Structure 1
């Protein structure tokens, strides 16, 4: 929620520069609310469906289920803060100082919870594929440590989010904004946040998925190629949504002169909005690709009476059931997405 760049004092008083700045503010007032609304609607719907399936239909029988329950919960709490930011981006911040601190803290808490959970999902899939037999034999022990890790993720994320809570405040610029300034937070804290929020998940994906790909290439079965495609999709989406914004954050925290450049502020806005899309894409990438989850999802759709209105014929449902049955009988131990 980067609002600090609205200070007109950062910009040149030349007519061209002032005009460019006003054009940027007009773009931001239109672009940000649009992104917030899209992410809120899609993220609320997708993550709520995932939670509903796990709560009512899919018991938490594995470590994977634990992480896939924690991930949409974190994303759901994040998207619930977006209506406040939507109103503030259109008008100004009217919710008070303490609400500002709480929402900045909630936003940051759930960002790091989500990213650390993605890291754990990656490592869990690595163990499930590369050490499949060992993972199966130690299922009870892994469940215990999975619960411990889930709690540790939330506590760690809360601690890492404290600077945003402490330094968050309402400032009066051209309008009242809720923000915090990077230059108020110690460099070591910013480095820790960047490590947990980007470099650690990226390192986990590169190392674990590289070994998983090597393992799958030596495996047999129809699931191999599908699993490889999903791996490339997961890594590709992560890089596309997270790399640009984190690079911009890194530049902003090390080169203060960029704060005075309107073009750089465009980069901040666009890359941050791109990073928010993870809240919409996570349910698809980490839950709906699982055959077991999809089966339980269709049970939910059927039980709430939506299936006839969606135009699905009985023939299509029988074909889908046949595919799931075939997949469950042919899947190998090295398949990572039979969740």
Structure 2
């Protein structure tokens, strides 16, 4: 792929210099397809388990269900990005906007649900609020999730309307938008992450003081889910800021930045299949999955006979 950078000189006008370097779009597209398959299978199985066995009055279960829905919405956009990397944008202007809307709806809702789930754990463990009031916690969780989806969908509409089909090949932002990098990204990623880290540090401190191993095991999956989000999406958001604020001086720097961006993008997109795997750390969830699969196999054998 050809890239253009501006080379400046004190005695000459700015020159546009073409760059050609290592192309890894095929690898990126193939990884997106693998991520899509793993995410659909994992999140559908997780929802199947939660709706079949787990009681929904527990706020954590409600949050995890909403996380799985966020991941599936995000996952629905991944095959389109795979085709985009393997070829060009061949789906037209409407799908350019609609896929961006799905992409960011899944992304924003997941971070907001994670933040709400962490604050819920903080209130229960650290502030000792609503510890034994399951009905009130259920109402709180449902109300927060409704607000999360309304906000996420609304902000994503703004992102979608910024996109347009360029030269019939590229789905990209139609105009320069400093709001996204100086306001939207910090507000919708770094501030929620800061709140999540603060709450988790307070929770860990409280657990260590009480030495309650049972509570520690109950919260371990939540900690892993939060850590996975930060590990997957943190580098990608940092690279996005670097790409916007830093202008490479030559083709070598541009090549390195492009490779880092694509690697971080694969890591970020892989998050949509992480939550089901992390939930499988819970022995109870694994037992339910094994039972459901064995039961389904038994039904299929009976029908075959």
Note if contact 2:225-2:275 (Cα within 8 Å) is conserved in structure 1: no
Structural mapping, 1:60-209, within 5 Å: 60-132=56-128, 134-172=129-167, 176-180=169-173, 184-185=176-177, 187-209=178-200
Q: Deviations over 1:18-57 (max 9, x none)?
A: 5x62x33x322x2211220121111111111111112233
Aligned position for 1:250 = 241
In structure 1, distance between residues paired with 2:213 and 2:45: 29
Note if contact 1:43-1:279 (Cα within 8 Å) is conserved in structure 2: yes
In structure 1, distance between residues paired with 2:118 and 2:250: 35
Measure how far apart 1:9 and its partner are.
3.8
Aligned to 2:24, the other structure's residue is in SS state helix
Measure how far apart 1:271 and its partner are.
1.0
Note if contact 1:126-1:212 (Cα within 8 Å) is conserved in structure 2: yes
Q: Deviations over 1:145-180 (max 9, x none)?
A: 2111111111111222223211111222xx812222
Measure how far apart 1:112 and its partner are.
0.6
Note if contact 1:36-1:86 (Cα within 8 Å) is conserved in structure 2: yes
Note if contact 1:241-1:278 (Cα within 8 Å) is conserved in structure 2: yes
Aligned to 2:131, the other structure's residue is in SS state helix
Measure how far apart 1:257 and its partner are.
5.3
In structure 2, distance between residues paired with 1:60 and 1:228: 17
Aligned position for 1:268 = 261
Aligned position for 2:210 = 219
Aligned to 2:297, the other structure's residue is in SS state coil
Aligned to 1:60, the other structure's residue is in SS state coil
Aligned position for 1:279 = 272
Tell me which protein shows more strand as a share of its residues: 2
In structure 2, distance between residues paired with 1:114 and 1:131: 24
Q: TM-score, normalised by structure 2?
A: 0.83
Aligned to 2:166, the other structure's residue is in SS state strand
Matched, 1:300 2:297: no
Measure how far apart 1:267 and its partner are.
1.8
Does the C-alpha gap of structure 1 residues 162 and 73 become closer, same or farther in structure 2, counting only changes over 3 Å?
same
> Structure 1: which 5+ runs fail to align?
1-5, 310-339
Aligned to 2:89, the other structure's residue is in SS state coil
Aligned position for 1:50 = 46
Note if contact 1:37-1:86 (Cα within 8 Å) is conserved in structure 2: yes
93-102 or 158-167, which deviates more:
158-167
Measure how far apart 1:292 and its partner are.
4.4
Note if contact 1:93-1:177 (Cα within 8 Å) is conserved in structure 2: yes
291-300 or 149-158, which deviates more:
291-300
Note if contact 1:252-1:259 (Cα within 8 Å) is conserved in structure 2: no
Aligned position for 1:334 = none
> Structure 2: which 5+ runs fail to align?
8-16
157-166 or 98-107, which deviates more:
157-166
Aligned position for 1:238 = 229
Measure how far apart 1:258 and its partner are.
7.4
37-46 or 192-201, which deviates more:
192-201
> Number of residue pairs matched?
289
